[in-house]
Structure 1
C-alpha cells in the first residue's frame, strides 16, 4: 500500500514505511531478516527444550536463560512477521490499536530481556563472590520471584506508553518511517507538545535499561575484585570463563540498544536508514545470537544438544 497523508488528528491506520531510502532493496534485505527469524525460532526453542529436559541444567543461571529465551522468542514473533510483510508484499498498513499493542509488547519485552540479563549477572556475582551460599540464596522459589518481578516491572512501567500515544493528534501524516511501531517514532508524528511524553520515555528507559546496565557493571567490578584476590593466578581464567557467555550476551544486547536509543533522540543528523537498521539489529539479532553463544560456550548445553541430534565424535571443549 502506498504511503498517504492524513488530516484527521486520530487516524485509524498507520503506514509502516520499512527502511527509508532502501525501499528498492527490501526484497534483498528480507533474506537476512528471514534467516535471522528462523534461526531465532530454532535456537531458542531448542534451548528451552534442552534446559527443560536436562535436570543438571535446572540451576538459576539456566532458568534465567530460559526466561530470556522466552522473551526473545516473543520479541522476534511480535516484530518479524509484519516486517517481512512490508518487505515481501509492501503491506505497511497497521491498525492504530495493533500498532500501539506492538509498540507496548516490544518495549515491555525488551525491558524484560534487560531484567533477565541483570538476574543472570546477579547469579554470577553470588556464584563467584559468595559460592558457599549460592544454593541457599538462589533457591528455585527465589528464582521464580525474581522472574515474576522482572515480568511485572516490564508490564507496569511500560503500561502508560499506549495511553500516552493513543490520543495524541497526528494531523500531519500517518506514515511511520520505520519497520515497526516504536515509541519515539510515533511521538515524532504528533503535532502537539510532546515534552512530557519524551520525558516519560527517558525516565522509563533509565529506570529499566539504564539502571540494569549500571548494576551489571557494578556486579562485574565486584566479580573482578574477587577474582583477582584469589591466591592462585591459574584460578583467574577458569573463574572468569564462567562469565564469558554472559558477558558476550551483554555486549550483543546493550551495544546496539544504547546506540539506537541515543541516535533516535539526539542523532538528528544521522541518515534515517542507518538508524532504522541499527534499531532492527538491536531488536532482532540478540534473540538469534543468545542461544548460539550459550550453545557454543556452555559444555552442558552443547553436549545435550549433540545428544538431541544423536551426533557423536565432537570434542568437548570447556
Structure 2
C-alpha cells in the first residue's frame, strides 16, 4: 500500500474530517482544499474546511460556503477540532503557518494528521507526510492522491476546477520552473475531466475592481523603485496608501510578478503595511536568483526558491532601507 492508498484508507475509516491550510490563503491553498473536499465527498464521506482567515476577493467565484474561518467562526472551528478523527494539513510545512489560535488547536489534537505540501523543510508533526518540494503546487499533489490511490475514475469537473486553479496560480500561469512535464500531464487529465480552463483564466483575469486597478496603477507609477545595478524592483505601500484605494485582501498579490516583468529584472520585492507589520512578497527568476534565503535569513520567512514570503516589524521606511541594504548581498551587481 503506497502513501496515497493509505490516505484514502484513513479517509474511509474516519467520521469527522477537517481540512486546514495556511494564513493569507491563495489560489493553491483554497483550490487544493476544495478539490480534496469534493474528492472526500465522492468517497462517501464528509469534511469541514477550517482556514485561519477568509479567501481573497478575487476567488469569490468559487463556492467557499463550506469554509469555516477563525475570523468569523472560531467557536465552530473549536468544536470541529474537538470531534475530529482525521485532519489534513494542506500547503504548509509547519504549524505556525496557520496562526496562533489554530496552531494551538492543531498541536493539541490526538487524532492522525496528514500533511500534503510542496514547501521546503517540513516539520515532523504529521503522522503521514507527503512532501514533494519539486512539485508545482499542493493542488498537483491532490491530483496525484486521486490518481495513485486508484480512484482516477472519480476525477470530474467539480473536483478538477479548483485543482486547476491551484496549479495555475502557483505556477504563475505555468511560467515558473516548477512546471514540469508531469504538471502538463495532470493538466491534460483535468481538461479531459471537463474543466473549462478558459473560464478559470477569465474569472481570475477579468475580476478586477476599479479600486484594485487604481491601487496597482498608483503602486507602479508612484512607488516602484528599481535598483538598476542589482536588477531588483521594490514596491512599498503604507497602510494609509492602502486605505486610500479601499484595499481588499488579494489586491496587491500580483504586484511582485508584474514588477518582475521589467526587462532584465532578477527579482521583485513588494511589502505592504497590514495588521501592524510589513508583509513582504519576494519573487525572482531562475535558479541563480533564489529569494527564499534572503527571506529566511532576514525577514522570518521562507518558501520556494523563486517565490517566498516574510515579515518585518520595522516601519515602512526602515523596512525599505533594510531591504535596500541587503539587496547587494543577495543580488550582486553585474
TM norm structure 1: 0.23
Q: Which has the higher helix share?
A: 1
Greater relative CO (CA pairs within 8 A, separation 6+): 1
TM norm structure 2: 0.23
